[in-house]
């Protein structure tokens, strides 16, 4: 555990001074504050931020995460040459990447909502947005780590990261919509719910929207989700699904890290 703490500490020190992480924090801060500044009410800002979070967070976590893992390769080799177990080293390295990303989002998006607490955004909605953002950061940082550990070719790795982002944010919904249209005569409710849980971006969207009274914005699967499970159970299922989306890539990346040749 001590090794995890030491490596995490080094990662936090490194990334807290990273100009991209600082810019990322300031971008969220500026955009959220700007939305409030230009007259947005709490719920409106929340919805605008949700769209931003669903699009930008996976992209930054995937691309920045992949590049960071590649850039750390030689340093990781130096650490692996020390008498430390690989599992603990991996935990420290992953947390040293994922926590600064999540913290940058929390600080950048959280401060404006705290400052404008009286603007009308529900506490549950803000908590869901911040929770979903943290979950997406952790999940996509794990995916980025897994991709970078699997592919030695950096160009291919970054390409895969971009492809994953495109698939999760754009292509997937298109395919689901196409399937719904093509098989409209069949009872698709359950398969569609399953498909929704199979994409962390959809899960995060539903997690936040179930906290808001905006079922019209949930899309077909979101509305169906709330109708089937209700708000409380729906939120719980979405939260557990997002946790699973953090855990599964992380376990795969951990396994890869422990068994691969450097």
Partner 1 sequence: MITLDSIRKRFGALDVLQDVSLAVRPGAVTALVGPNGSGKTTLIKIILGLTRADAGALHVDGARADAAGAYRRAIGYMPQAAHFPTNLRVGDVLELVTQLRPGEAIDDDLARAFNMDGIRTKLVGTLSGGTRQKVNAVVAFMFKPSLLILDEPTAGLDPLAAAVLKEKIRAVRTEGRAVLITSHILAELETLADDVAFLCDGTLRFSGPVAALLDRTKSRSLEEAVAALLRTERVPQRATPDAVTTSRVAPLLAPQPQGGR
Q: Which is nearer to partner 1, 5 or 227 (CB)?
A: 5
Q: What is the dihedral of CA 227, 233, 236, 240, to 10 degrees?
A: -80
Q: What does the chain come to in residues?
A: 262
Site membership for partner 1, residue 151 (CB under 8 A) = no
Binding positions for partner 1, 202-221, rule CB under 8 A: none
Site membership for partner 1, residue 152 (CB under 8 A) = no
Site membership for partner 1, residue 3 (CB under 8 A) = yes
Cα separation, 84 vs 93, in Å, equals: 13
Q: Which is nearer to partner 1, 97 or 136 (CB)?
A: 97
Distance between start and end Cα atoms, the chain: 23
Structure tokens belonging to residue 57: 């967070």
DSSP 70: H
Q: Which is nearer to partner 1, 73 or 229 (CB)?
A: 73
Q: How far is the CB of 66 from partner 1 (least distance, A)?
A: 16
Under 8 Å between Cβ of 140 and 162: no
Q: Of the ranges 67-75, 119-127, 149-157, 211-219, which one interacts with partner 1 (CB under 8 A)?
A: 67-75
| CB neighbour list of residue 35: distance below 8 Å, 6 or more residues apart | 44, 45, 48, 49, 112
Closest CA to 246 of 163, 135, 161, 93: 135
Q: Which is nearer to partner 1, 13 or 227 (CB)?
A: 13
Cα separation, 248 vs 86, in Å, equals: 18
Binding positions for partner 1, 76-95, rule CB under 8 A: 77-86
Q: How far is the CB of 25 from partner 1 (least distance, A)?
A: 15
Site membership for partner 1, residue 15 (CB under 8 A) = yes
Q: Which is nearer to partner 1, 96 or 110 (CB)?
A: 96
DSSP for 91-114, please give it.
Answer: HHHHHHHHHHHHHHHHHHHHHHHH
Helix 189-197 with 219-259: angle, nearest 10 deg: 40
Closest CA to 89 of 42, 145, 45, 40: 145
Site membership for partner 1, residue 1 (CB under 8 A) = no
Among 23, 30, 37, 74, binds partner 1 (CB under 8 A): 74
Q: Which is nearer to partner 1, 88 or 189 (CB)?
A: 88
Among 14, 48, 107, 122, binds partner 1 (CB under 8 A): 14
Q: How far is the CB of 78 from partner 1 (least distance, A)?
A: 6
Residues binding partner 1: what is the number (CB under 8 A)?
30
Which residues form the interface with partner 1 (CB under 8 A)? 2-3, 6-7, 9-11, 13-18, 71-75, 77-86, 261-262
């Amino acid at each position: 555990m001590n090794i995890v703490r030491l490596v995490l500490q080094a990662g936090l020190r490194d990334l807290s001074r990273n100009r991209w992480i600082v810019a990322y924090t300031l971008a969220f801060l500026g955009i959220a504050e700007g939305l409030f500044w230009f007259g947005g009410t709490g719920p409106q800002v929340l919805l605008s931020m949700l769209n931003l979070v669903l699009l930008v967070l996976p992209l930054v976590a995937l691309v920045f995460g992949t590049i960071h893992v590649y850039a750390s390769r030689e340093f990781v080799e130096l650490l692996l040459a020390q008498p430390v177990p690989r599992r603990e080293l991996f935990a420290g390295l992953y947390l040293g990447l994922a926590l600064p990303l999540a913290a940058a989002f929390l600080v950048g998006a959280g401060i404006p909502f705290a400052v404008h607490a009286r603007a009308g955004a529900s506490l549950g909605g803000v908590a869901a947005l911040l929770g979903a953002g943290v979950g997406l950061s952790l999940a996509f940082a794990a995916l980025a780590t897994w991709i970078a550990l699997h592919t030695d070719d950096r160009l291919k790795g970054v390409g895969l990261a971009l492809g994953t982002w495109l698939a999760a944010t754009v292509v997937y919904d298109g395919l689901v919509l196409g399937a719904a249209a093509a098989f409209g005569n069949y009872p698709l409710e359950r398969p569609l719910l399953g498909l929704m849980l199979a994409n962390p971006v959809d899960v995060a969207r539903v997690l936040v929207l179930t906290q808001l009274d905006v079922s019209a914005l949930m899309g077909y699967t979101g509305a169906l989700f709330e109708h089937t499970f209700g708000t409380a159970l729906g939120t719980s299922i979405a939260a557990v699904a997002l946790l699973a989306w953090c855990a599964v890539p992380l376990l795969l990346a951990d396994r890869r890290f422990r068994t691969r040749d450097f």
